[in-house]
C-alpha cells in the first residue's frame, strides 16, 4: 500500500492510495461501526484512520469501491495510486491510525462495512431519541 494526500476535506490527509479506496464517515458512526465489525467473525475490519481535527474515520476498502459507493452520510474517495510507502504511523500532525496496518492487514469488505454503518446509524438514532 502507499499513501497520498487526497483533495477531499472530509478525507484524512495521509490516507493510503495504492491498492485501496477510503470510505470516510463521521467519527461517532465510524467508531460504532468498528465495534460492530470487531464483534463479527474473523478479520472483518481493515486499517482505519482517525482524523482528530476533522472528526472523521477513514476505512480502507478495495480499489473500485468508490465507483458504486452510495451510503448516505459517508464518502468514498478513489485513490490515484501515487504516494509514499505506508508507514505504521502517518507522518506529521493530523490523522493517526485507529487500527494500523499490520494489526489489520486486509481492506474492509465494502458490503460488510455498508451493513455495519447502517447498524451504527440506527443505534445512534435510537440513542439520540432517548434523550
pLDDT in tens, 6-25: 334 343 444 444 578 999 99
pLDDT at residue 86 greater than cutoff 70: no
- CA-nearest of 111, 113, 117, 108 to 61 is 108
Q: What is the mean pLDDT of residues 21-40?
A: 95
Give CA angle at 95 (113, 107), nearest 5°: 30
Q: Which residues pair with 26 in a beta bridge?
A: 56
**What Rg value do the Cα atoms of the chain yield, rounded?**
14
CB 48 within 8 A of CB 60: yes
Q: Would the pTM of this model clear 0.75, i.e. be above it?
A: yes
Q: Which residues pair with 64 in a beta bridge?
A: none
Amino acid at each position: 500500500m502507499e499513501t497520498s494526500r487526497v483533495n477531499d476535506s472530509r478525507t484524512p490527509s495521509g490516507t493510503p492510495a495504492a491498492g485501496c479506496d477510503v470510505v470516510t464517515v463521521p467519527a461517532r458512526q465510524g467508531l460504532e461501526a468498528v465495534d460492530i465489525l470487531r464483534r463479527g467473525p474473523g478479520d472483518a475490519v481493515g486499517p482505519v484512520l482517525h482524523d482528530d481535527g476533522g472528526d472523521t474515520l477513514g476505512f480502507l476498502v478495495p480499489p473500485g469501491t468508490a465507483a458504486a459507493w452510495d451510503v448516505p452520510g459517508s464518502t468514498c474517495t478513489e485513490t490515484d495510486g501515487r504516494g509514499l510507502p505506508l508507514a505504521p504511523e502517518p507522518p506529521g500532525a493530523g490523522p493517526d491510525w485507529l487500527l494500523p496496518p499490520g494489526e489489520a492487514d486486509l481492506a474492509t469488505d465494502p458490503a460488510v462495512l455498508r451493513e455495519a454503518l447502517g447498524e451504527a446509524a440506527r443505534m445512534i438514532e435510537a440513542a439520540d431519541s432517548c434523550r
